[in-house]
């Protein structure tokens, strides 16, 4: 519990620091949302009136305080350009982005874990070399190129096989689940294959190290085959490391999804963030970046707690150090 308490305190402190950093960095960038709303032919008086209406004429400290007070009450603000609630827009866009992230993660795990274990179990040097080459090549392909390649191969209309839609998302959303899932298939494969290659390399390294440990030798001495010992013992011992790797890969996958959403014209958070940045909508952009930063920090907190729960050596080390200090 002491460990979790310390991590929660660090989480809150980091969240406050990131909120201040996001706020200051956006104020440094050139551009004026009031000028964007007013138009190119607006008079200086009209722009000044809009700045006062949006609260941009207040001191930066007052603007930051108003924003943080709203966040504490669950209010992300109102878009300066569209006049709509930022929280409502984020919730609507998350219905596309979150399923895409989860589907990408499932694809990455389905590729990375089995092929990583297969690379450890393979006795043929050529097969091991082939799996190693696949991991390197698949992980080196940029998301943009991979997406274009999948469009050329599998998209309807311009693709060779014509299995999935190339762009867009159903207007009725998840009311048509099969159409919605089909729209997310190619984007999920684009990010999932690249992330799966990274997980495959880390799995091969972590499980391979544990496969040569004494624990595996003892399991084989007790009657297990090498395959059983690797899958039941070595994989279990490597799980804490893999949890950390999967958490980091998941965080990297989110940034990849932002790029892929624009490539496949999906109405997700990535497209929303790009649009709001182009419009200089400070209120919307700062809340969106804050939510992304909070999610990354929360993911790191979950990975730390899960790693400690899965690795009893960390618990023992913590208890020993606590007694030594006492």
**Helical pair 235-263 and 86-121, crossing angle rounded to 10 deg:** 130
CB 272 within 8 Å of CB 5: no
**Helical pair 143-154 and 177-211, crossing angle rounded to 10 deg:** 130
Percent of the chain with pLDDT over 90: 6
Three-state DSSP at 21 gives: helix
Task: Please name the residues in contact with 46: beta carbons below 8 A apart, sequence gap of 6 or more.
Answer: 38
- What's residue 31's pLDDT? 66
Angstrom distance (rounded) from CA 173 to CA 222 = 55
Looking at the predicted structure, is the pLDDT value of residue 320 above 50?
no
Of 246, 247, 230, 239, the C-alpha closest to 118 is: 230
- What's residue 32's pLDDT? 67
- Summarised one tens digit per residue, pLDDT across range 291-319 is 888 888 888 888 888 877 777 665 555 54
- Summarised one tens digit per residue, pLDDT across range 61-115 is 888 888 888 888 888 888 877 778 888 888 888 889 889 989 999 999 999 999 9
Where in the chain are the domains?
1-81+279-326, 90-270
User: How many Cβ atoms from other residues are within 10 Å of residue 85's Cβ?
Assistant: 15
Query: Options 1.10.3720.10, 1.10.530.10, 3.40.50.150, 3.40.50.620; which CATH number does 90-270 get?
Result: 1.10.3720.10
Question: Whole-prediction pTM value?
Answer: 0.80
- What's residue 103's pLDDT? 92
Angstrom distance (rounded) from CA 269 to CA 92 = 9
Percent of the chain with pLDDT over 70: 92
Task: Provide φ and ψ at 59, rounded to 5°.
Answer: -60, 150
């Amino acid at each position: 519990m002491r460990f979790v308490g310390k991590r929660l305190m660090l989480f809150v402190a980091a969240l406050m620091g990131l909120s201040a950093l996001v706020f200051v960095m956006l104020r440094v960038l050139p551009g004026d949302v009031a000028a964007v709303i007013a138009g190119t032919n607006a008079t200086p008086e009209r722009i000044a009136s809009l700045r006062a209406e949006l609260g941009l004429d207040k001191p930066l400290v007052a603007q930051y305080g108003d924003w943080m007070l709203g966040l504490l009450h669950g209010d992300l603000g109102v878009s300066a350009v569209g006049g709509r609630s930022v929280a409502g827009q984020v919730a609507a866009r998350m219905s596309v982005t979150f399923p895409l992230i989860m589907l990408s993660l499932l694809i990455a795990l389905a590729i990375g874990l089995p092929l990583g274990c297969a690379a450890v179990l393979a006795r043929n040097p050529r097969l091991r070399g082939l799996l190693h080459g696949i991991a390197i090549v698949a992980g080196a392909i940029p998301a943009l190129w991979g997406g274009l390649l999948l469009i050329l191969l599998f998209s309807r209309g311009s693709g060779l096989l014509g299995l999935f839609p190339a762009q867009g998302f159903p207007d009725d959303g998840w009311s048509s689940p099969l159409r919605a899932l089909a729209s997310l298939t190619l984007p999920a494969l684009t990010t999932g294959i690249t992330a799966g290659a990274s997980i495959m390399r880390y799995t091969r390294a972590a499980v391979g190290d544990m496969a040569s440990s004494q624990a595996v030798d003892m399991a084989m001495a007790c009657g297990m085959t090498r395959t059983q010992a690797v899958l039941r013992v070595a994989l279990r011992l490597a799980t804490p490391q893999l949890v950390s790797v999967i958490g980091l890969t998941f965080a990297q996958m989110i940034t990849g999804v932002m790029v892929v959403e624009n490539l496949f014209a999906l109405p997700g958070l990535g497209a929303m963030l790009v649009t709001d940045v182009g419009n200089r909508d400070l209120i919307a952009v700062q809340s969106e970046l804050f939510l992304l930063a909070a999610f990354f920090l929360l993911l790191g907190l979950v990975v730390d707690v899960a790693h400690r729960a899965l690795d009893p050596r960390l618990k023992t080390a913590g208890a020993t150090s606590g007694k030594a200090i006492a």
